[in-house]
Structure formats: C-alpha cells, structure tokens
C-alpha cells in the first residue's frame, strides 16, 4: 500500500486538489448570486408584506396590491395597486413615480427562477464541468494505475458533489391557473394604456379655473368614501 502511495505522481494530487477547489468555487458563485438576488428582492419589496392566503401584497399604508398578470418568460407574477389609491397616497413620491399604481413582482419557481438567476447558475454549472473534466484529462498524462484510480475517484466524487447545481433541470416550472399571461412588453404597454385612460378621465370645469375661490357657485370639496392611509392614522393619533 505504501509503495502504491509513493508511486502516485505529483500531477495527480494537483489535479485532484484543483478539482475540489473548483467545486467549492462553483457553489460559492451560486451562493453569492442567490444572496444578491435575495437582497435585491428584499430591497424592491421593503415595507411590503406578502399574504399567501390572499395572494396579495400589503403596502406600508395598509393598501393592497393584487395580482394582475403572469410573465411566462421571466416566470414572474406581477402585482399592482389601484391607480386611484396610489396617486392620492401621501407617500407616493417616495414609493413610485408612475401614475398607474405601484407594481411588485414575485417569482413563482424555486431558485433559480429568473433569467439572470439562471445565468449565474449556468456559470456555476460550467465551473462544475471543468472540475470534473480536469482530473479525467489528467488520467491520460499519468502512468501509474494508482494515480489513475485516484483521479477517476476524484472525478466521480466531484460529479456527485455537484449534482445539486443541476437540480433546476429536473424541477417542473409552476403554471399558475386563472391568471392572465402577459410578457414584459405587453405589461408595459398595458400600464401605458392605464395612464392614458386616467388622464382622459380628468375633467376640467370652468369653476375650477376661476381665480376667486369664493365666487358664487365655486366648487365645494366633498369627500366620500375617502381611502384611509396608515400614515394619516398615525398622524391623527399623534395630534390627539
């Protein structure tokens, strides 16, 4: 046994160690990419709480964002608040710059679900392939059978160790039922139509253009069914 061990060439240990390092690098790439995507999703939905029982998001102002459509290309469910509610929200300027309501997205598949996530997973899988190929190729450069056994065993070990990186090939994508399928371009076009519709509904009256607000027949503010926002309730409680 000692004779077989002593006859193992140096390239065998170098190739085996390099393969194991590449396997760790592949997992490191996937882990860092997952953390980056998770941090980005948390930043996009900061202050919003997803309620699975309603399949809707609740914003910091206690208003709901309901599902609008499903993007089959990006595997993303899109949620949007009511334009009339969002446009009159006291914190709209710090929430969204659009007039068609705040929109959020939620991946429906497990990681990696988005196109960018699959790109980073692909890089990790490519590194894993190199980790397997490197010791296999090295077997053709060594002469002793012990070296070849070690290299092939390392290749087998690295292959098994990297199988979880290929799990996305086995996962069946989720197909939501009862929702409208709409691509990103179609979603942007629909949002633009919503904005145009809201602008056409804004009617201007002669009394609104009068400089003298106390003129006879001047409009009187009448609020019916006003939406209550969380920030307004907190302000009322502080002033009480």
Contact between residue 98 and residue 195 where contact means Cβ atoms under 8 Å apart? yes
Task: List, for residues 52-68, the tens digit of each pLDDT value.
Answer: 898 899 999 999 999 98
Task: List, for residues 92-137, the tens digit of each pLDDT value.
Answer: 899 888 888 899 988 887 788 777 888 999 999 999 999 999 999 9
Tokens of 125: 């899988």
pLDDT at 117: 85
pLDDT at 225: 57
Residues of the chain with pLDDT under 70: 1-6, 171-181, 183-184, 187, 198-226, 240
* Domain assignments of the chain as residue spans, ordered by start: 2-192
pLDDT at 152: 95
- Per-residue burial over 165-204, b if 16 or more Cβ lie within 10 Å, else e, is beebeeeeeeeeeeeeebeeeebeebbeebeeeeeeeeee
Q: How does the average pLDDT of the chain come out, rounded?
A: 82
Residue in 66, 62, 34 with CA at minimum distance from that of residue 48: 62
Sheet strand arrangement including 103-107: 49-51, 56-58, 64-71, 76-81, 103-107
Distance CA 66, CA 81 (A): 6
pLDDT at 29: 96
Contact between residue 206 and residue 95 where contact means Cβ atoms under 8 Å apart? no
């Amino acid at each position: 046994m000692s004779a077989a061990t002593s006859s193992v060439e140096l390239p065998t240990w170098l190739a085996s160690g390099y393969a194991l390092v590449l396997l760790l690098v592949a997992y490191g790439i996937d882990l860092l990419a997952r953390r980056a995507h998770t941090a980005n999703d948390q930043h996009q939905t900061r202050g919003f709480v997803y309620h699975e029982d309603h399949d809707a998001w609740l914003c910091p102002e206690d208003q709901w964002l309901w599902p609008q459509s499903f993007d089959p290309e990006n595997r993303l469910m899109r949620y949007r608040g009511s334009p009339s509610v969002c446009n009159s929200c006291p914190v709209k300027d710090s929430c969204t710059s659009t007039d068609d309501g705040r929109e959020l997205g939620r991946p429906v598949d497990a990681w990696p679900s988005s196109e960018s996530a699959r790109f980073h997973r692909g890089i990790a899988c490519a590194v894993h392939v190199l980790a397997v190929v490197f010791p296999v190729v090295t077997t053709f450069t060594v002469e002793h059978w012990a070296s070849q056994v070690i290299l092939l065993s390392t290749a087998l070990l690295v292959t098994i160790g990297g199988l979880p990186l290929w799990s996305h090939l086995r996962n069946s994508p989720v197909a939501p039922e009862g929702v409208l399928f709409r691509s990103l371009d179609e979603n942007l076009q629909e949002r633009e139509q919503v904005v145009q519709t809201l602008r056409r509904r804004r009617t201007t009256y002669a009394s609104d253009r009068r400089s003298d607000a106390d003129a006879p027949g001047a409009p009187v503010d009448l609020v019916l069914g006003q939406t209550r926002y969380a920030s307004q309730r907190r302000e009322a409680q502080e002033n009480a």
